[in-house]
Amino acid sequence: MTHIKKAARNGRRLARNNQSAADTAVAGGEMLHASGEVISARLEIMAAGLANPGKADLAEISLMSSEKVEAISASVSTVTRNFGDLSDRLTRSAANEIHLASRAAAAMASATHPAALATLQYNYAVGWWGRATGQMLTLNTELLKVQAEALDPIHRTAVANAKRLKRPGT
C-alpha cells in the first residue's frame, strides 16, 4: 500500500474515531439527563413509601439496586472482554516488532558498505514509524470501542427507566 493510500485510510479512521467519540459523549449526556429524571422520580416514590408504608412501591424500590448491579455487571463484562482482546493484539504486535527488529539488525550487521547500512537503517526506521502510527491509531479505535460498549448498558438502563418513570404531562 502506498504512503498516500495509508494516509487516506488513516484519515478515514481518524474521522470515524472522532464520530465515535462524539456519539459516546452524546450518549453520556443523555445518560446523565435520564439519570437525573430517574433519581427525581424515585425520590418521590421513596418519599411516598415513607409517608404511607402500606402503599410503598416495593417493586420499583427493589429495582433501584438490582438493575444497577445488572447494568454495571454488563459494563464490567464488556470492559474485561475488550481489554483481554486488546492485550492479545498488543502482545502479537510487540512480538511481530521484535521479529522485524531482529531481521533488520541481522541485515544491518551483514551490510557490505556504509550506504547499504544507512539504507537498511532508514528503511527500518520509516517502517517502524508507519507501524507505530498505525498501531496507535488502532489502539485509539479500540479504546473508543471499549468506552462506548462500557457505557451502553448503563445508558440503556437509565434511558429506559426515565421513559418508564416519566410522569404524565412532563
Span 76-108, pLDDT tens digits: 999 999 999 999 999 999 999 999 999 999 999
8-state DSSP, 112: S
Burial of 34 (0-12, 13-18, 19+ CB in 10 A): buried
The overall average pLDDT reported for the chain is 91
**pLDDT per residue as tens digits for the range 120-167:** 999 999 999 989 988 998 899 899 999 999 999 999 999 999 999 987
DSSP state of 167: P
Q: What is the Cα–Cα distance from 17 to 12, expressed in whole angstroms? A: 9
Give the span between the Cα atoms of 151 and 64, in whole angstroms.
18
In this prediction the pTM is: 0.76
Q: How far apart are CA 63 and CA 46, in angstroms?
A: 12
Write out the DSSP string of 113-153: SHHHHHHHHHHHHHHHHHHHHHHHHHHHHHHHHHHHHHHHH
Give me the pLDDT at residue 4, please: 85
CB 27 within 8 A of CB 148: yes
Residue 47 confidence (pLDDT): 93
Distance in angstroms (rounded) separating the CA atoms of residues 34 and 28 = 10
